Structure formats: C-alpha cells, structure tokens
Amino acid sequence: MVNVIGLGYIGLPTALMMAAHGVKVIGTDYNKELVSTLNAGRTTFKEEGLDELFEKAVELGITFSTEYQITDTYIVSVPTPYDEESKKIDAKYVESAVSTILEICPKGAVIVIESTVSPGTLDKYVRPLMIRKGFIIGQDIHLVHAPERIIPGNMVYELLNNNRTIGADDKEIGERIKKLYASFCNGDIVVTDIRTAEMTKVVENTFRDINIAYANELAKICRSDNMDVYEIIRIANKHPRVNILQPGPGVGGHCISVDPWFLVGDYPGLANIILAARKINDSMPEFVLERIYEIMKEKHMTDIGRVGFYGLTYKEDVDDMRESPTLQMLESMEKHLCGNLVKIYDPFITNDVVPNQLHNLDEFLNSVDLVVLMVGHSEIRQNMDKLEGKIVLDTRNICDMEGVYRL
Ligand code: SAJ
C-alpha cells in the first residue's frame, strides 16, 4: 500500500493515477476540508480528465484521510516555498511530513519525496531528521527523490507519458520505486542518485524560465523601437535550431517562478543568467501596467475604473492563481491607490478574491472600455467577437482584431 502525503495539485493526480492502475493507495492531507470534499466524491481543483480519473480511482478503492498510515511506501508531495529574503528553500513542510512518517513507519519503509527541492535538500534537511531519530538510512529506512514533471492543464496526459527521474541511494530501492511508477507511466524512467535528481528537476524549470525571459526581453526591445516581436519570433522559429518561446505578462505558477531562486540562493555569484532571467520575468507585470497607462493616454481615457483585466490565474484553463501576474499588477496598483478600481473577471475563479470582481463575461465587458487580456482561457478565445468596439491590450497574442494593442 502507498500512502501519498499531500493532496494538492501534484499529490492528488499522482495518488489517483496509481490507484486507477491497481495500486492500493491512501491519500493523506492535514486539511480536513479538502479530505472531506474528496471523501464526499468531489475533486478539489479543475483539470482536464481529473474527474474521470477520480471516479476510476474511487471505484478501485482509493481512500482519503487526515491520518498518516502505517505502510511500507510513502510519497511526499507537499509545498516547498522559498524564503523571500535568503532565496533559499523553506523545507518546513517536507520536514514535518517526514517527521510524522518516522513516528509510525515500519522498519525498511521507503520515503519518496516528490516535491521539487533545491539540490542538497535531502542531505541537509531530511537525512539529519532520520539520523536524529536513530534510523540507519539504507537499513531501517530508505530515501528516494522522484520529482514530478507534469504541467498544469495537461496533467493526466503527462502523468501517463512523461519520462521521469528517480534518485535513490540504493539501486535496488530505486528499481523498486521505478516499478511502482511504471504501473502507470509509459515514459522512460531513469534511475540515478538523489543529488542528480534534485538538480535535474530545478535545472529543467530554470531552462524554461530563461527561455521565457528571452522572449520577454525581446518584447521590450521591439516595443522600444516599434517592431512586431511576434512576427520576428514566428520567422526566427523557422530556423531549424531556433525555438523562441512567447512573451507574456509575467511568469506565474508555483514552479517556474520559484525553482530558479533555489539556484540563485545556493550559488550566489555563479547563477548570473538565472538571476537576470528572474528579474526580467518579474518585471513584466510592471511593463504591462506601463502599456496600460500609455494606451489610456493615447485614447484620452482618464477613468481607471473603465479598465478591465481578463484573467486572474497564472495561465490559461487552470484555476491556480499562485504568483499570478494579474495579482502582481493589482498589488502594484494598490500602492498607487488605484488597484481597487479596475474591473476583474476570470471564468475559473468563482469566489470573490479581489475587489470589483465580476462573474459574468458580458457584464464584465459592458463595464469597461479597455480590456487587458491577461490569460488566454478557451472561453475568451471562443468569444473574440465580443471584444468588437473595445480597446484591447492583448498580452498573450491571441486576438487578431484590427487595432489591438500588444506588449
Ligand atoms: N509562459 C510564458 N511564455 C511561454 C510559456 C509560458 O509567458 O512561452 C508563462 C505562463 O503563462 C505561466 C508561466 O510561464 O505564467 C509558467 O507556465 P508553464 O506552462 O511554462 O509551466 P508551469 O509552471 O505550469 O509548469 C512547469 C513545467 N516545467 C517545464 O515545462 C520545464 C512542468 O513540466 C513542471 O512539472 C511544473 O513546472 C512543476 O511543477 O515544476
């Protein structure tokens, strides 16, 4: 039996996927409300294919609890934030999960850490916990790192098909855990050591952050000299070895905007491109605000209350708002005392989280003159005609209406 600890954006789909493929799984989370929602037969966030997977997993016997279970395999999938000041990982959730497991686990149990961690975290924070409690690692307890790689918006497909990395001290244990993941994963599963697995995961997300930063920097350069960045990227990408990503209003989500900081925090002075990329991506919400003020001036608009932000989530067709560029813009506007004036709408956010949030697309559009497209949800892509007659700032390059403003 596998006890999955942490039933968030990664832990829940992973637990369901294993259960749907015949593994006996109990999912544990300290959040009572979340556990009772799952036990009442409802998923806790929206994701393509998740409800179907949930049904299958429940049919095959998955259960959810707030209690840790006595079993031989644990998968830990808890948040790993970074400390804003030191830029280093804050491993408190991993430490607390591992400590609780150590209270109850039988001799020889395997603890698999799925959460993304900075290189060296398991050595620095997890092993000492085990040693302090008198466990002999490799005998009484085994440690594995199996970082997740699934992308929100396509999680179910990617769980089934992505290649994976498993880091273990002991090859035999690594192979055992590989077998567990192979119960559902069709991709290649590479077994390596823990340190390499930790570093590889962070390096992957950093690669994407740097590439997005390049696109964002190009957007700024092209804007300064009145060139069309999208056309330039489109043509450049016809080169067989060029694949530039898309500029946008900033990098949100809890992965790409966080993980590169681990390298900056741990290798100050060495992580130079990485730091520059982070700064460029973090500057994008402010760049969008500047574009808004420029457009308002050009259109002789004086009432910020007639500006509307379409999209609160960090990217399209997900309901996750963590590190969302829209929230960052609102925060910055609050400092200038106008953050509570703009209208906001997002079809994926049904509860009120910010002032002036509307819950209907037509009502939202009727209440504004300038629409800032912050997120390219399918809803707006399918309703572009509703933007006719509006001034539009399209930060995602999804609207081909005449006269639309872009980054
Ligand atoms: N973005 C752009 N331009 C682009 C691509 C993305 O501005 O061309 C923005 C998005 O709008 C979003 C942010 O970047 O705000 C990040 O989105 P994403 O779709 O690139 O990635 P995430 O954060 O949803 O998921 C990433 C993935 N990592 C990589 O692709 C290397 C995923 O595979 C990881 O599992 C996930 O991080 C994670 O949990 O670590």
User: Domain check: are 234 and 165 in the same one?
Assistant: no
User: Domain check: are 243 and 151 in the same one?
Assistant: no
Residues 163-193 pLDDT 10s: 999 999 999 999 999 999 999 999 999 999 9
Residues 251-308 pLDDT 10s: 999 999 999 999 999 999 999 999 999 999 999 999 999 999 999 999 999 999 999 9
User: Domain check: are 76 and 211 in the same one?
Assistant: no
> Best mutation site among 230, 256, 320, 348 for ligand 1, i.e. most ligand atoms within 8 A of its Cβ?
256
Average of pLDDT values for 384-401?
A: 97
Among protein residues, the one with the nearest Cα to ligand 1's atom 40 is 255
User: Domain check: are 173 and 300 in the same one?
Assistant: no
Q: Is the pLDDT of residue 335 over 90?
A: no
Q: Report pLDDT for 82.
A: 85
Domain-located, residue 199: no
User: Domain check: are 23 and 148 in the same one?
Assistant: yes
CA of 255 to the centre of ligand 1 (A): 7
User: Domain check: are 238 and 165 in the same one?
Assistant: no
Q: What is the mean pLDDT of the chain?
A: 96
In this structure, what CATH number is given to the domain that contains residue 48? 3.40.50.720
Q: Determine the structural domain holding residue 386 and report its residue range.
A: 205-406
Q: Which atom of ligand 1 is nearest to the CA of 315?
A: 11
- Percent of the chain surpassing pLDDT 70: 99
User: Domain check: are 147 and 237 in the same one?
Assistant: no
User: Domain check: are 224 and 143 in the same one?
Assistant: no
Instruction: Please count the CA atoms within 13 angstroms of the CA of 314 that sit on its side-chain side.
Output: 16
Q: Is the pLDDT of residue 337 over 70?
A: no
Residues 5-41 pLDDT 10s: 999 999 999 999 999 999 999 999 999 999 999 999 9
Indicate the number of domains in the chain.
2
SS (H, E, C) the chain: CEEEECCCCCHHHHHHHHHHCCCCEEEECCCHHHHHHHHCCCCCCCCCCHHHHHHHHHHCCCEEECCCCCCCEEEECCCCCECCCCCCECCHHHHHHHHHHHHHCCCCEEEEECCCCCCCHHHHHHHHHHHHCCCCECCCEEEEECCCCCCCCCHHHHHHHCCEEEEECCHHHHHHHHHHHHCCCCCCEEEECHHHHHHHHHHHHHHHHHHHHHHHHHHHHHHHCCCCHHHHHHHHCCCCCCCCCCCCCCCCCCCCCCHHHHHHHHCCCCCHHHHHHHHHHHCHHHHHHHHHHHHHHHCCCCCHHHEEEECCCCCCCCCCCCCCHHHHHHHHHHHCCCCCCCEEECCCCCCCCCCCEECCHHHHHHCCCEEEECCCCHHHHCCHHHHCCCEEEECCCCCCCCCCEEC
Q: Report pLDDT for 53.
A: 98
Average of pLDDT values for 354-365?
A: 96
Q: Is the pLDDT of residue 55 over 80?
A: yes
Average of pLDDT values for 50-64?
A: 98
- Of the listed ranges 6-10, 81-85, 234-238, 271-275, the least confidently predicted one is 81-85
Q: Which of 139, 166, 192 is the last residue of a domain?
A: 192
Q: Is the pLDDT of residue 339 over 70?
A: no
Domain-located, residue 75: yes
Work out the pLDDT band at 338, boundaries 50, 70, 90. low
Domain-located, residue 370: yes
Q: Kindly report the number of other CB atoms within 10 A of residue 355's CB atom.
A: 13
Q: Report pLDDT for 336.
A: 72
Beta carbon of 29 within 6 Å of any ligand 1 atom: no
Among protein residues, the one with the nearest Cα to ligand 1's atom 3 is 246
Beta carbon of 148 within 6 Å of any ligand 1 atom: yes
SS (H, E, C) 202-260: HHHHHHHHHHHHHHHHHHHHHHHCCCCHHHHHHHHCCCCCCCCCCCCCCCCCCCCCCHH
Among protein residues, the one with the nearest Cα to ligand 1's atom 11 is 315
Among protein residues, the one with the nearest Cα to ligand 1's atom 28 is 205
Work out the pLDDT band at 200, boundaries 50, 70, 90. very high
Which residues belong to the active site? Answer: 201, 255
User: Domain check: are 136 and 267 in the same one?
Assistant: no
> Best mutation site among 113, 158, 204, 251 for ligand 1, i.e. most ligand atoms within 8 A of its Cβ?
251
Domain-located, residue 200: no
CA of 335 to the centre of ligand 1 (A): 28
Domain-located, residue 102: yes
Q: Which of 192, 226, 260 is the last residue of a domain?
A: 192
Average of pLDDT values for 97-118?
A: 97
User: Domain check: are 228 and 372 in the same one?
Assistant: yes
User: Domain check: are 244 and 171 in the same one?
Assistant: no
